Amino acid sequence: MTHEARNLAEERLATLYSHLLAEQAAAFDRATPQKAIDIVGRELDNVHQAWQWAAMQERYDLLLQSIDGLGEYYAATGRNVEGEERFAPVAQRLLNHHRAADAAEQLLCQHLLNKLCHCLIWRSKLAEALVTAQTLTELAQTTANHEFVARGLVYWGKTLLELGNNGDAERRLQTALTLARQLAQPCLIGHVLIESSHVFRRSANQYKRAMPCDICVRWSACWTTWNWPKPMGEQRSRLRLTIIYQMTKIYQMTNAKVATAHTQLQTNASKMTDQQLLQTFWQAPPHRKLRELWRQSRSI
């Protein structure tokens, strides 16, 4: 096979697997991502070869198609070392030439930095994660990409939380939530809310005192008063139950009379269907505040 023929064959394969990752990316936001994990996992060697070829050939259009699906696969399977190894070199190359980069390359760079933040935090590389999150936020601000400004602030806040700076972490997350609400992106809003819950639970655990009213009301006010888009289907259902699950954990951490409730929910939530989550919620000991939250959430 000639060099030209080999290169053409590699391009076709890279295009094929880039499309595969693009098709599966949305599945990771749904309630049951296992099918997408299995599909990508079966083709992982080919996916990696396709990524390597596209990176070497600077086919940033193919990398942009691939980044969400591959990044979500790494996150779902805990392959954070592989994620850092693949995303960091391409991101650094684009950052070195970002002034001359076109819009597509700048967008790819922001996607890469977003996924890289996740990998670095989970690998406890907090100093690098903080710099990466700040770089993402600043780059997104330069290009007026408000979604990635919000995502950068989320990881910035999450890193600050891990470093023990709860106050600054909360401020970053509140700003991210404001942007996410303006963009009307339910998945992004849910992501910010979940990270916000970690800040509040950490604060409750740190001070070891009951503080459900002020914290939970502040957090729940972020979503109960907003006019959510209705046609969300499965995403709406999962997000609603995720919010309830997180709120339940806040109440438990703050000693709000539900310390023995929802044990099964805590241990098995990631494996449950929406119907099982709902059934477990109603089987738990009744609590007026939680029931009130459920009634409010039904309007989402």
Taking only the tens place, the pLDDT of each residue in 156-194 is 999 998 998 888 998 998 899 889 888 887 778 777 877
Q: Quick one: average pLDDT of 140-165?
A: 94
- Give the span between the Cα atoms of 203 and 161, in whole angstroms: 10
Taking only the tens place, the pLDDT of each residue in 1-43 is 677 777 788 889 999 999 999 999 888 766 567 888 899 999 9
**279/104: higher pLDDT:** 104
- Give the span between the Cα atoms of 56 and 94, in whole angstroms: 13
107, 145 contact by CB (below 8 A): yes
Residue type (1 letter), 165: N
pTM (2 decimals)? 0.72
- Give the span between the Cα atoms of 59 and 11, in whole angstroms: 9
Taking only the tens place, the pLDDT of each residue in 235-271 is 445 555 555 555 555 555 444 444 444 444 444 445 5
Which is nearest to 176 in space by CA: 253, 98, 117? 117
